[in-house]
Structures are given as C-alpha cells and as structure tokens.
Amino acid sequence: MALQTLNPPLRWRPEPSFPINDRTIVDLIPRRWALPQATVAVGACASCQIATGNGGFWNPLVGSETALRKVVPKRVDLATLGNLCVDIVLGVPSLPLAPKNERRAYMERLAASPPDKKFWEAGGNCNLAIAASRLGLSCFTVGHVGDEIYGNFLLEVLEDENINFLGMSKNADRTANVADYQTLLCFVLVDPFQKHGFCSRADFSEEPAFIWMTELTDEIKMAIRQSKILFCNGYAFDEFFPDLLISALDCAISGGTSVFFDPGPRVKTLSNGTPQEQMALQQFLRQSDVLLFTSDEVHSSTMHGHSTKKSADAISCIA
C-alpha cells in the first residue's frame, strides 16, 4: 500500500474579520501578582476553567511589582515560543512497532525520500498562530527553521497567514553538523483504522534538538516584552535547554506579558526528567497566568513519580 495523505492542507490567505487598526482584540486581566486567583483551563479543548488559589502560581520570591516588573507597551497580541515544525501526514498500512530503534529506522526511511509537498502541513505552534491570525490578532512566532525546503515552506505559510517570524540563530556554529540546524519534521502516520502514530527526530535524542541555542537575543527579549501573551508548550523542551525557556518566562514576567503554558503529553517525561527539566516545569506551572491541561495531563502532573507533591502544590485544586 502506497503512502498517502489524508487531509491535504487548504491554501487560504486570510483577511481579518475586522480592521487591525484602532481596535483592542485581547483585553487582558491585570498581572497575576495583583489577583486573588489564577486560571487553569482543563479539558481536551480547555473548555472548562477552574480558578485556583495564589499558593499554586504566584512565587513571592521573585520580588515586588514595583521593584522588578515594568509593564512595556504592547504592540503584538500573541507570541509563540518554539515548536515550529512541518507535519507530514501520511496514510500507512500499519503503524511502526514500539521499540525505539525500529521506530527510528522507520522514520529515517521516510525522511530519506521527502514525500510530495501536498502531504506537508504547518504544525506545532504554527496552528495556534494561524488560528489567532485568522481571528484578527497580530501574531509572531519565535523559533528556528532551517534554510532548506521545509523551512522555506513554513516561512511561506506564515507569510500567507499574516504572521511575523523571528528567528533564533544566536550562538549558531556554522561548522557544526548540518542536521542540527534543519527544520523539525513530524511524521503523522495514520493506519486504516484511523489510529495515529508520530515520529520526529526529537523522540530519539536525550538532548534538545537545537543544543547550539543557549541564550535569547536582545531582539527576542524585547519582542516578548512587547507582546500581550507569550504561549509556550511542553514540546519546546524538545528544542531548547530548560535555562533558555526559563529566561523567556522571566522576560515575559518582567515585561508584564501574560504567560500561557500547555505542558501537553510531555508533562509525563518532564516530571521525571533531569533536575533542570523538573525545576523548569515547576516554574512554568507556578508562574504562568493560564495553564492548559487535558484531564489525563492533570493526573500525570499531580501523580507521576517523585514530583507528586511539587506538582500537586502547583495545581492543588484539580489534584
């Protein structure tokens, strides 16, 4: 059975449903340190919102509002951090077997001869940015894409959707392995019974995909501070070191930018990951303004391994 796509992407250049100028689309509540409660959204579509006490989210050790936080004028509604990838959606006769070495060999066979472009889709955080842009919000994405056919494809999609892109290239070593700078691919495999499997090179490495990226540029820091919302998910840990993600979190907080965090399925591995990953996860759980969970992810984050107490403290209302 030949590989085939199931849902070829539609090409549509959006026009905002109302004028971009002279409007406030996102009217955010005051920063979390001024609030009696913080918000957690629970459910597959985050349709149910539950308010939780400050004890789970506000860290009094970060300093006072007047001393450490200066709200920067906001020029952008939404910024996404990392998780820019190309999804290649393929119908397959059967999903690859579970052993890691067999899945890796399967992925390498797929990547060796790139499937037709009609099978490609913008994936990861591109989906959130596209949805927001089509609603009329001003958006940009922060991340890395390679200088190859897949990276060019992503940039074209973002441009068509009126989304700005801010590349992360600081500390790039031009003599390093070319593969370290390639656009991330995720093969989305669907069998005849509509069961899904996913293969990405990030699944087979103990280190982040972009290990050469160790700090944020001043341009990226300013862009984060000038955004109303910074969105980050758990897949960003597949790309960047925890210290870099924490620096983005600190940057957002210092600029009065609201932080939305979706740990996603990675909450299971991060909860039992390296000490740096566990600490970064807890910091995002405690200091984000909005957490996005499915019910399964809530259970994992509060009951998984030795991180039980820390995670339960962070989202105690839904443990």
Q: Which domains does the chain have, with CATH numbers?
A: 68-73+215-318 (3.40.1190.20), 81-204 (3.40.1190.20)
Angle (CA) 140 146 152, round 5°: 70
Token pair, residue 142, equals 């922060």
Q: How far is CA 169 from the centre of its chain?
A: 18
Q: How far is CA 295 from the centre of its chain?
A: 19
Contact between residue 23 and residue 74 where contact means Cβ atoms under 8 Å apart: no
pTM, two decimals, is 0.74
Angle between helix axes 149-160 and 125-134 (nearest 10 degrees) is 20
Proportion of the chain above pLDDT 90, given as a percent: 38
107-138: pLDDT as tens digits:
778 777 778 888 899 999 999 999 999 999 99
Listed in sequence order, the residues at least 6 apart from 3 whose beta carbon sits closer than 8 Å to its beta carbon are: 90, 91, 92, 110, 115, 119
- 18/160: higher pLDDT: 160
79 phi and psi, to 5 degrees?
-125, 135
Note the pLDDT of residue 162.
Answer: 94
